[in-house]
Amino acid sequence: MGNASKAIEEAERAGVDLSLIDESLGYSYEERAIHHQRALNMALEFERAGRELRERSQQPAAVSVRFAT
């Protein structure tokens, strides 16, 4: 059994979805670059949203106080 076959078997045992790799290799360089950029943009958007949520959760909540009359 060759090194490539061993690596493939190890990847499958580890749960790597090799069909995604096969699909990606079917794309042209330009298509892969576009897919990569879209994924990067989405990751950056998640990061921004998470940062905003953390900042909001650290701000003190507004407190309303009513005095009895």
Domain ranges across the chain: 3-58
Mean pLDDT, range 48-66, rounded to an integer: 84
C-alpha angle 46-48-54 in degrees, rounded to nearest 5: 100
- In whole angstroms, what is the distance from residue 64 CA to residue 55 CA? 21
Q: Which pTM was predicted?
A: 0.58
Mean pLDDT, range 38-45, rounded to an integer: 98
Determine what percent of the chain is predicted with pLDDT higher than 70.
91
User: Considering the chain, what is the average pLDDT of its residues?
Assistant: 90
- In whole angstroms, what is the distance from residue 20 CA to residue 29 CA? 16
pLDDT confidence bin for 32, thresholds 50/70/90: very high
* Amino acid identity for residue 30 in this structure: E
